Amino acid sequence: MNILILGGDGYLGWPTAMYLSRRGHDVTVVDSFHRRLWDAEIGAESLLPIRSLRERVALWSELGQPRIHMEVGDITDWDFLEAVVRERAPEAIVHYGEHRAAPFSMLSRRHAVITQVNNVVGTLNVLFAMRDHAPDAHLVKLGTMGEYGTPNISIEEGYIEIHHEGRSDVLPYPKQPGSFYHLSKVHDSHNIHFACKVWGLRATDLNQGVVYGVHTEETDMHPGLATRFDYDHVWGTVLNRFCVQAAIDHPLTVYGKGGQTRGFLDIRDTLACIELAVLNPAAPGEFRVFNQFTEQFSVGELAEKVAEAATKLGWDPIIENIANPRVEAEEHFYNAKHTKLLDLGLQPHYLSETLIDGLLETVRAHADRVDRALLLPSHTWTEGWIGPEAKEQQGGEVH
């Protein structure tokens, strides 16, 4: 298939591009490289050294793999995106081209605006480009389980049947986003749903859990094909932070009580889910939702699993609870359904295997690149940045 990948320089975008290219698809990647600039803004960088997109695309070809096409530009730029969609005429569009960090969106007013403009305007441009130039294409959009929040009932896959005053209907599942980032993803979902209804577009929203891992068959072909590993307090995931802390003999810092529960999946399962969605497209006019994760853990359970795996390697990890910078329930019910991708044939990998199978050792091999100052939160959900850099960024006194 002719596939366009938006955000093809990112943590998931680049491995997806290689994965689909190696399986015979004609792949074009699009990126503006804003993600790398945002790293520079907070003084962070990937734990694993990563080459530029141009270098990685060239290396992929040098290794005898099918050519990956590259387009450099911002999808919030309508003229750029329209030209790409018109010229490439994709059969599927895999949309990773969004800012993905809740903490970044909560740093300040400016960061909240950047987040929502980038995500909402970019996705609207994609929808109009599809309507005008690729109406039969299938949009595979990366959403987030964070759209749902933590309701006190089971989370269905996108829709829920409601019975009220003697009548019933199947309606979009209620959303309770926990940050300006998650709010932007809810706006996206509503816009895509509406576009499918009025224009007959086809779309799959993959409400993904937290992804972990850096090893895929393709990234392991050459060190220069590596994808990024974020561990800092803004872009890093909780699992990545725990792995880094264990590797440098730093306490594993659990926010609050540690009962916050989320879905998780291996990066290899993300790639498989994308391909399953691409090869089994939604019908014209259909907006379908898959909950994309394989296991559920609380933050406390996650810390214990990392500590257990690190102990088996001869390390001596300890777990420490610290004040929670976020506004979230620290103890709650959580039961999210996730059967649709399994029904399509997903064969999951599990965290207990991945931690022992190279992830912790890969982190320790790059421990000299860890910036300890990035491991603890520099902001809160209620007050934004609390470090000295906040004064300049927010244009006023540090709060």
User: Which residues carry out catalysis?
Assistant: 144, 181, 185
Q: At what angle do helices 13-22 and 267-279 cross, to 10 degrees?
A: 60
- Rounded CA-CA distance 287/308 in Å is 41
Encoded tokens for 280: 């089994």
Buried b (16+ CB within 10 A) or exposed e, 49-87: ebeebeebbbbbeeeeeeebbbbeebbbeeebbeebbee
For residue 205, the cross-strand partners are: 141, 289
Count of C-beta atoms within a 10 Å radius of residue 89: 12
Which segments of 233-339 does DSSP mark as H helices, in order? 238-247, 267-279, 299-312
Across the strands, what pairs with 160? 171
> Which stretches of 146-266 are DSSP H helices?
180-199, 238-247
Lookup: tokens for 339: 């059967």
